[in-house]
Amino acid sequence: MPSRPLHFTKMHGTGNDYVYVDLSREVIDEPARVARLVSDRHRGIGSDGLILVEPLGADDEAEIRMRMFNADGSEAEMCGNGIRCVTKFALDRGLAPGPTLRVATGAGVLEIEAHHDDGLVVAATVDMGRANTTCASVDAMIPGLEPSASTIGIDLDLNRFLPEHADRLRALGVDTVCSLVSLGNPHIVFWCDRPESIDLSAVGPDIENHPWFPQRINVHFVHVSAPDRVSMHTWERGSGVTLACGTGASAVCAAGALERRTAESITARLPGGGLQLRHDRERGHVLMRGPAVEVFRGEIDLARLEESS
């Protein structure tokens, strides 16, 4: 890896933090490797991953392309908190005219409306697209369910699914009826009394890497405190415990509405803060609004970082 400074910006959406790089200024040949280096919270910059921002041409379907790499170097299709920060990154720097933005992601082109204060983007509303709810769309291979089967309100046998954790999860009030939702990336939503009591570091990896989910899966434990309010804790595929997950909160919104556990519009409280979400039952889309915050800008020598890692 050549010794040269990499210019970056550290940003977060509801505590879900990433290192952002402008590909119109920088060249990154090995993004998976760079993601692992910069994400290290002890020897690197510290983040949940790396997001690359690439301005596109006038004839393209979108103004900006984003690629998102988890802390372990794996590439994910989309990041809900990340795309809000991409909007701030692009519009604050004049990489696109705004105030709306079309961003090309691994989950397709998404449209974002920016919200400004004193000329800078402080929040954004994202049309997260359609919430898909079949085994095939979630990349789930669950015994007894066909690829076309619905994944909303399915009753999992915890003894078969997670035998090592089944007794503990039941004791903590985890409902065996759960939902799987894809918003470009896959999520499983469990309902429980106290999400904060779940040992995510113990159960998260086993669910993420379960053989029923060949592409791995994001894991959420959720409590419905009122029809329009939920609290949730997340184990993110490729990153582990995280303060927030925008696609995950969107999946929770869709699952809650379709299972009729919640209203169509909810506030999701995550360890990193709150997100506002609305499930459009007619279109099947989820709209998400939340903050986008720049933490700092800097430069780092990747070759030296690699030597010290």
Annotated active-site positions, please?
79, 245
> In what helix (H) or strand (E) does residue 130 lie, and over which residues does it extend?
strand 120-130
Sequence-ordered list of residues with C-beta below 8 angstroms from that of 108, at least 6 positions apart, any chain: 129, 184
Spatial separation of the C-alpha atoms in residues 7 and 131, rounded to whole Å = 36
For residue 282, the tally of other CB atoms under 10 A from its CB is 6
Say which amino acid occupies 176.
T
Task: From 218, 246, 236, select the one nearest 82 (Cα to Cα).
Answer: 246
Task: Mention every residue, 6+ apart, whose C-beta is less than 8 A from residue 298.
Answer: 7, 8, 10, 45
Q: Which two tokens stand for residue 22?
A: 């402008």
> Hey, what are 166's tokens?
């089944």
